[in-house]
Amino acid sequence: MTQVIGMIEILDPTAEDVPEELGLSDSLPDLKGKVVGLLENRKYHADAFLGELKEVLLDEYDVSKVVYATKFTYSAPCAEDTIESLSEECDVVIHAIAD
């Protein structure tokens, strides 16, 4: 009688890549004195996250102003007038998602 010996392959689900850390762009070397837009997608806790981020931006990065905007719903594109308003008023916009 012949025995068949099988092989079990165990996969490691952890990421192998080291995340790339990106800084600010050359055209925006720091946020001091800048107007930062925060765009919320209306997912659960996005407002809490952006509220904390607003305080960090004002206290630690010395931004001059934070403009807060929201999308109508997370599943739809942002309204064109919201995008236009943010792009006219802000030096940089952060779009946040949360769950």
Give residue-wise pLDDT tens across range 75-94. 888 999 999 999 999 999 99
Cβ–Cβ under 8 Å, residues 39 and 74: no
State the pLDDT at residue 90: 96
Cβ–Cβ under 8 Å, residues 95 and 42: no
Query: Phi/psi at 18 (nearest 5 deg)?
Result: -90, 125
Nearest-angstrom CA–CA distance, 87 and 82: 9
User: 56 pLDDT band (50/70/90 cuts)?
Assistant: very high
Nearest-angstrom CA–CA distance, 31 and 23: 11
**First-to-final CA distance of the chain:** 57
